[in-house]
Amino acid sequence: MTYRVRVASVYLLGFFIDLVNMFIASVAYPEIGRHFDAPVSQLAWISNGYILGLTLVIPLSRWLAGRLGARRLFMLSLLIFIVSTCGVSAAASISHLIAWRWLQGIGGGLLIPIGQTLTYALYQNHERARLSSVVMLVALLAPALSPALGGVLVEHLSWRGVFLVSLPLAVMAFVLAAWWLKPDRPAAKADPLDLTGFLGGSAALTLILLSLTALGEAARPGEGALMLLAGLVVLAGYVRNACRKSRPLLNLRLVKDPLFHTAMLIYQFIPGVFTGVSVIAMLYLQNQLGMAASVAGALMLPWSLASFAAISLTGRTFNRRGPRPLLIAGCLAQAAGMGLLALTEQAADTPLCLLAFTLMGFGGSLCSSTAQSAAFIQIDDRDLADASALWNINRQLSFCLGVTLVSLLFNLLANAGMAPQHAYHLCFAIAACSAAIPLLCALRIANHRVIIMLNGESQ
């Protein structure tokens, strides 16, 4: 096994651990709620606390790597994750559980940007499409397997087993990192910490995440809107301050790269919107059409198979065809799938639902794997740490934004006096139309130039 394959294996294991912890917790909410007599608003923070912890620590990844060295920081983050996982599983109250989840997010939040930076630096641009395909396969397996595994653990052990399942994986990752990763020295002259930027960025991200949570609750729209406005104001100040500095916490100038910012925008409108649509679709199929929960859950099987096919297609054809045709096809497929959901009328429309989820799986994964492959093509190796941090912050926000915006859209339609089924149908139709934005962005990509760049480097 070559050194770069070992590094990639450690990174992918860390990536899998992080994703499992994001998706496995929700299946244990009912049991945790009964155990601690906790309301839904507190249960939501079991996931939100984890997301907040990892989102806040990601901007520090480059600075910490410069101070401690990437290998040492990766192992330290695993230690934090291992300790906090034990704390989560032993929590005596819902507040303790949320606090430990926040710390667990800090440990998990460093695994992806540090591992991604170490791995992508070892692969040339024309090799990164296949690497990104493997990354996306891991991103597919975690959400597909986690709920089923979590359900078995809750039924046969307890809700604490849901969180302990990642412990052996984290220990394995720690051992492999110590064994396989080459020691690296901290930078001889590390950049000083941009404390103002860190505080400003943390405040902006915290306010935005809190506002998205509040907006998703029917009783708190005004409070959520105010926090969102405050978060955007603080974010604007942070961006203005960062662009004036020669050594900011994160190099926001990288967002000017056409492929990078196009890929980030596509992630917001494709995987992000699907995350929101899938939540609303599960409610619609079970509550409105009377579909059994097992049947509704089984719709993720064709979604997963179609996603696997799309990711494999990206790995085989990206260097030859470039990102534009793949992104266009992906946007159209996801829009068609969401449009088909708007045509369902009864539980007997299961074949139509199967086709809808198949199209959404193929289109969404074709776009996300292509975006992942295209994002870093024009990024210099010295900027990979900053680019990785920006990419992962954008990825986390896309999931929060997708669920919040689609849920908010449905609530607005339902509260406007529209019949529930019509509100669902219109919500799906509007979500399908949102694919026009990433589609227009894809049309602007200089595809021929990208193909020449990739194939010129591979020769």
Q: What is the pLDDT of residue 381?
A: 79
313, two tokens: 């297609």
| Contacts of 104 by beta carbon, 8 Å cutoff, 6+ apart | 21, 50, 53, 80, 81, 84, 85, 87, 88
- Cα angle 143-109-244, degrees, rounded to a multiple of 5: 125
409, two tokens: 């859209």
Higher pLDDT, 440 or 48: 440
417 CB neighbour count, 10 Å cutoff: 7
Question: What would the CATH number be for the domain defined by 250-459?
Answer: 1.20.1250.20
Confidence tier at 350 by pLDDT (50, 70, 90): confident
Q: What is the pLDDT of residue 294?
A: 64
Sign of CA dihedral 283, 405, 26, 74: positive
**What is the rounded average pLDDT for all residues in the chain?**
85
Question: Is the CB of residue 184 less than 8 Å from the CB of residue 70?
Answer: yes
Question: Is the CB of residue 401 less than 8 Å from the CB of residue 231?
Answer: no
Q: How far apart are CA 268 and CA 274, in angstroms?
A: 10
95 CB neighbour count, 10 Å cutoff: 13
- Cα angle 337-339-345, degrees, rounded to a multiple of 5: 105
Q: How far apart are CA 71 and CA 118, in angstroms?
A: 9
Higher pLDDT, 216 or 43: 43
Class of domain 1-184: mainly alpha
The predicted model gives 117-135 an average pLDDT of 82
The answer to whether residue 148 scores a pLDDT higher than 70 is no
What pTM did the predictor assign? 0.77
Q: How far apart are CA 71 and CA 65, in angstroms?
A: 8
Question: Is the CB of residue 200 less than 8 Å from the CB of residue 237?
Answer: yes
Q: What are 373-421's pLDDT values in tens digits?
A: 899 888 887 888 888 888 888 887 887 778 778 877 887 888 787 888 8
Higher pLDDT, 135 or 446: 446
The amino acid sitting at 197 is: G
Q: What are 279-326's pLDDT values in tens digits?
A: 788 778 877 888 776 677 678 778 888 988 998 899 889 989 999 999
Question: Is the CB of residue 330 less than 8 Å from the CB of residue 363?
Answer: yes
Q: How far apart are CA 201 and CA 241, in angstroms?
A: 10
- Residue 15, phi then psi, degrees to nearest 5: -65, -45
345 CB neighbour count, 10 Å cutoff: 11
Q: What are 33-47's pLDDT values in tens digits?
A: 888 988 766 776 787
185, two tokens: 């020295």
Question: Is the CB of residue 101 less than 8 Å from the CB of residue 163?
Answer: no
The answer to whether residue 155 scores a pLDDT higher than 80 is no
The answer to whether residue 458 scores a pLDDT higher than 70 is no
Of 143, 397, 391, which Cα lies nearest the Cα of 269?
397
